[in-house]
């Protein structure tokens, strides 16, 4: 697979609940549905937050109908430049944590399932280090 995308479902602390790796030619809006269908904890949620790349009225309606939760699109506050967005940084921080893992810094893996397994392994290592310290 030449290009790939990683989609993460994380909790409020930034810990990975579910990951999905797929070819880069898939739409983000369609991928969100596949990812959320794989998450087992959606009955506890009150809201699901997406960044602007997932902005779709159909996705928001699907979340309301299928998951029974409100979907919120987190948009940029400034049109240009860098600004920390209060909710979006949680996922971005998780991607940064995963980027510290050598195997995840580049796309070394052939299969998306192998790449997903490495994300879970890297997150398990991070959580274990936090429990020990």
pLDDT tens readout for residues 41-94: 777 788 888 888 888 899 999 999 988 889 988 887 777 777 777 777 788 888
Q: What is the pTM of this model?
A: 0.81
What is the pLDDT confidence band of residue 1, given thresholds at 50, 70 and 90? low
Concatenated DSSP letters of 40-88:
TTGGG-SEEEEEGGG--HHHHHHIIIII-SEEEEE--SSSSS----TTT
For residue 14, the 8-state DSSP code is: -
Percent of the chain with pLDDT over 70: 98
State how many domains the chain has: 1
Strand partners, 16: 10
Q: What contacts 127, CB < 8 A, 6 or more positions away?
A: 15
Can you give the residue range of the structural domain that contains 60? 4-132
SS3 state of residue 25? coil
Question: Which residue did the predictor score with more confidence, 121 or 108?
Answer: 121
Residue 77 maps to which CATH number? 3.30.420
């Amino acid at each position: 697979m030449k290009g790939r995308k990683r989609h993460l479902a994380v909790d409020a602390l930034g810990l990975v609940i579910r990951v999905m790796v797929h070819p880069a030619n898939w739409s983000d809006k369609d991928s969100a549905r596949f990812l959320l269908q794989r998450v087992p904890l959606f009955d506890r949620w009150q809201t699901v937050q997406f960044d602007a790349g997932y902005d779709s009225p159909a996705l928001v309606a699907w979340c309301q109908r299928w998951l029974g939760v409100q979907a919120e699109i987190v948009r940029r506050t400034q049109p240009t430049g860098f600004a920390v967005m209060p909710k979006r940084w949680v996922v971005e921080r998780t991607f940064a944590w995963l980027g510290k893992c050598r195997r995840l810094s580049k796309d070394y893996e052939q299969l998306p399932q192998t790449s997903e397994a490495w994300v879970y392994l890297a997150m398990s290592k991070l959580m274990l280090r936090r429990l020990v310290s």
